[in-house]
Amino acid sequence: MNTAATTTAARREPPADRPLHVTLVVGSNRHGRFGPVVADWLLDRLRDRDDLVAEVVDVAEAELPMSFERTPEAAAALAGITPKLARADAFVVLTPEYNHSFPAGLKNLVDWHFSEWQAKPVALVSYGGLSGGLRAVEHLRQVFAELHAVTVRDTVSFHNAGASFDDQGTLHDPTGPDAAAKTMLDQLVWWGHALREARAHRPYAT
């Protein structure tokens, strides 16, 4: 038995009970967007948990060019985004639905990165009109599958989202959304620990 190799591997492996670092990606940059209301509610759910440590990447604050050229401006924008994605053990992506899909700004942010998503779980939260943004969610599942990320089964969706919250951003009836969020985040934590431990033991193959 190679004692040195075993000791090195144990040193690399994160403690099983260490909270997961989760990055919340707010996916809308439209003027007058409703996203921050849902994002604040989500952050409260994340911060209520001892097994998650949250930070935010907001597409509206990410001045990334639409052409994939590594200009000084792109490098400056990425400097505030990429580290938050790279150090995440898991993600929650919040999206509205625009024309049966998710916003171009969110796709642009996703496409500027690759390895940061690999072998990590993604929970999806959506809002919109009658559909609640679920068509955007299904499109995002395809995108994240291509990036070797794992989307968790259960989601949270807000149908007619504007009518679900009062003027202070409080849900009129939190029972259903709170229960859905707990289920989704429980799944995210399970996948987050499983994949973090797997990445610690061996490099992910692409």
Alpha-carbon distances of 1 from 5, 7, 8, 13, 97, rounded to whole Å:
9, 11, 13, 19, 55
| Average pLDDT value for residue range 45-54 | 97
Contact (CB, 8 A) for 46 and 24: yes
Architecture of the domain made up of 19-28+36-201: 3-Layer(aba) Sandwich (3.40)
pLDDT at 118 over 70: yes
pLDDT digits (tens, 9 = 90+) for 57-84: 999 999 899 888 889 989 999 999 999 9
pLDDT digits (tens, 9 = 90+) for 119-152: 999 999 999 998 999 999 999 999 999 999 999 9
CA distance 206 to 199: 13
pLDDT at 94 over 50: yes
| Average pLDDT value for residue range 18-27 | 97
176: part of which helix (H) or strand (E)? helix 175-201
Tokens describing residue 16 = 């099983």
Domains in the chain: boundaries: 19-28+36-201
Burial-class residue 36 by CB neighbours within 10 Å (0-12, 13-18, 19+).
middle
- Mean pLDDT computed over every residue of the chain: 92
* Portion of the chain with pLDDT greater than 90, in percent: 85
CA distance 22 to 59: 16
| Average pLDDT value for residue range 167-190 | 97
